[in-house]
């Protein structure tokens, strides 16, 4: 299971590719669905309009046919008695009025008996009351009802004379009320159905083509994103490798610089003091061997030099890693640093702090201490200041260290010191950025202000009442 999770873990490039491609794929799918729905809705609306227009044309055609048939028999029907032989004449006239391959007129009496059906003579003379088409649509009863009400349209399935197959038919029927006849004619609309089906097939073809176009565009976009991402990934990897090499070199340079500083302090400070101790002890040894009482003075001088060496070792150790930072916290550590700085340089130092309600995390304490240490080193070497003010306090947004001096400013130091000063500022900037904090520097001819802030995420929460004091040193 752990192996599977390891295999499924994505690297940065894969995450970037998914971040870029997934919205594109979702957008393409959404556009495809919307285009399909809109196209089909529009096409269906147009198809329905086409079908209605064709059916309306068929119905107008039926009315014309029936008007012709009615005009052909109206004189006979109008002057004939219900039981007159005129009925026979009318049925013969209507039977003879055929048009096209499938057009004809039919007649039913109101009892359901077929009187005229030239294309289906087997229906003549039989009673078809209750007849329905294969779909269960009533035929005879509905035609008689329409005729009784004055006329109307009806649609049902009926055998097409030219093919013998069932097809949809639209009929128009009127009533000869004096004779109680339902007279009508119909047209088959299978051509309309075929036209509608062809239109729908064209719509589906267009939709499929649109899907192909969208898919091709999406694929091209994905290939472009992949190629661009690959190019950017390779470029960023090269830049990252270059930055890593540069950073590694800077780490090596910083290590060498620190070793050089420690070696110089050991050589210039402790080594010379120890040489003085040895020289004083040798003189004391010779004088004491000869009984000279002045040898005790040389012994006291050697002990004094040895105490100085011990203090120098403590100072170097404190510069490397101050123990007070771990034991008492950031505030006392910076106060000690400031006092030693004032004693060593003779500058006027003021230090103010506010007791932290929250304790600083270990990385924040070290970062702010190193910022203070680096700032005071730059002040000593480059500023020419006589007064330094240090302010350390916690607040609602985190913790802030502010160091200001009255020196000449960063833009006015000697050119030979520019490189070392820039390296120190860059080290401070990187330490603060590592904590997601901010470093602000304001420099002018009247002095420099350095302000470093770390967010609340690097403040430890207060301990409960059963633990230590919630106002533990920062």
Domain ranges of the chain: 50-188, 324-460
What integer pLDDT is reported at residue 13 of this predicted model? 61
Q: What are phi and psi of 321, to 5 degrees?
A: -160, 100
Do domains 50-188 and 324-460 share one topology? The answer is no
What integer pLDDT is reported at residue 192 of this predicted model? 75
Query: Which helix (H) or strand (E) is 218 found in, with range?
Result: helix 190-265
Q: What are phi and psi of 146, to 5 degrees?
A: -65, -40
pLDDT digits (tens, 9 = 90+) for 282-327: 787 777 777 776 767 777 777 877 787 787 777 777 666 677 777 7
CATH homologous superfamily, domain 50-188: PAS domain (3.30.450.20)
Q: How far is CA 30 from CA 6, 24, 102, in A?
A: 33, 10, 50
- Specify the DSSP class assigned to residue 148: H
Is there a contact between 361 and 458 (Cβ–Cβ < 8 Å)? yes
What integer pLDDT is reported at residue 127 of this predicted model? 92
CATH of domain 324-460: 3.30.565.10
Cα–Cα distance measured from residue 225 to residue 283, given in angstroms and rounded to the nearest whole number: 83
Helix boundaries (H) for 80-189: 86-96, 140-148
Which pTM does this prediction carry?
Answer: 0.45
Q: What are phi and psi of 312, to 5 degrees?
A: -65, -40
Low-confidence spans in the chain with pLDDT less than 70:
1-14, 16-17, 20, 50-51, 80-84, 254, 268, 293, 295, 318-321, 355-359, 411-423, 458-474
Cα–Cα distance measured from residue 212 to residue 199, given in angstroms and rounded to the nearest whole number: 20
């Amino acid at each position: 299971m752990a192996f599977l999770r390891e295999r499924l873990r994505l690297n940065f490039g894969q995450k970037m590719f998914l971040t870029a491609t997934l919205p594109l794929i979702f957008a393409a799918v959404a556009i495809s669905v919307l285009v399909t729905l809109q196209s089909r809705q529009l096409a269906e609306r147009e198809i329905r309009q086409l079908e209605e227009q064709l059916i309306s044309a068929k119905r107008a055609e039926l009315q014309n046919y029936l008007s012709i048939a009615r005009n052909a028999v109206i004189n006979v029907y109008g002057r004939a008695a219900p039981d007159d032989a005129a009925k026979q004449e009318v049925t013969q006239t209507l039977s003879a009025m055929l048009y096209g391959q499938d057009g004809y007129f039919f007649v039913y009496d109101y009892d359901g008996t077929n009187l005229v059906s030239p294309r289906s003579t087997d229906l003549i003379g039989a009673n078809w009351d209750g007849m329905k088409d294969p779909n269960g649509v009533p035929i005879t009863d509905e035609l008689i009802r329409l005729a009784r009400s004055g006329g109307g349209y009806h649609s049902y399935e009926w055998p097409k004379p030219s093919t013998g197959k069932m097809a949809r038919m639209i009929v128009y029927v009127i009533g000869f009320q004096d004779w109680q006849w339902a007279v009508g004619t119909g047209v088959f609309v299978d051509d309309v159905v075929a036209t509608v089906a062809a239109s729908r097939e064209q719509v589906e073809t267009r939709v499929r083509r649109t899907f192909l176009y969208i898919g091709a565009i999406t694929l091209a976009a994905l290939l472009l994103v992949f190629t661009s991402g690959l190019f950017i990934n390779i470029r960023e990897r090269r830049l990252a490798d270059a930055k890593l090499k540069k950073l590694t070199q800077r780490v090596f340079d910083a290590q060498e610089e620190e070793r050089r500083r420690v070696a110089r302090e050991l050589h210039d400070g402790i080594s010379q003091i120890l040489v003085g101790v040895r020289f004083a002890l040798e003189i004391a040894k010779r004088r004491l061997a000869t009984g000279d009482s002045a040898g005790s003075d040389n012994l006291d001088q050697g002990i004094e030099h040895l105490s100085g060496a011990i203090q120098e070792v403590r100072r170097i150790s404190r510069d490397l890693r101050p123990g007070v930072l771990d034991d008492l916290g950031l505030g006392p550590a910076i106060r000690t640093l400031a006092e030693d700085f004032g004693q060593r340089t003779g500058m006027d130092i003021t230090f103010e702090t506010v007791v932290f309600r929250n304790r600083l995390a270990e990385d924040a304490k070290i970062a702010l201490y190193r910022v203070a240490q680096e700032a005071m080193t730059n002040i000593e070497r480059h500023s020419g200041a006589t007064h330094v003010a240090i302010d350390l306090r916690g607040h609602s947004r985190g913790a802030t260290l502010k160091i200001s001096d009255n020196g000449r400013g960063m833009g006015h130091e000697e050119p030979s010191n520019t490189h070392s000063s820039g390296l120190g500022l860059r080290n401070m900037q990187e330490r603060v950025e590592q904590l997601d904090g901010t470093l602000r520097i304001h420099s002018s001819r009247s002095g420099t202000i350095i302000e470093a802030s770390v967010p609340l995420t690097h403040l430890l929460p207060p301990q409960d009442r059963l633990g230590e004091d919630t106002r533990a040193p920062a």
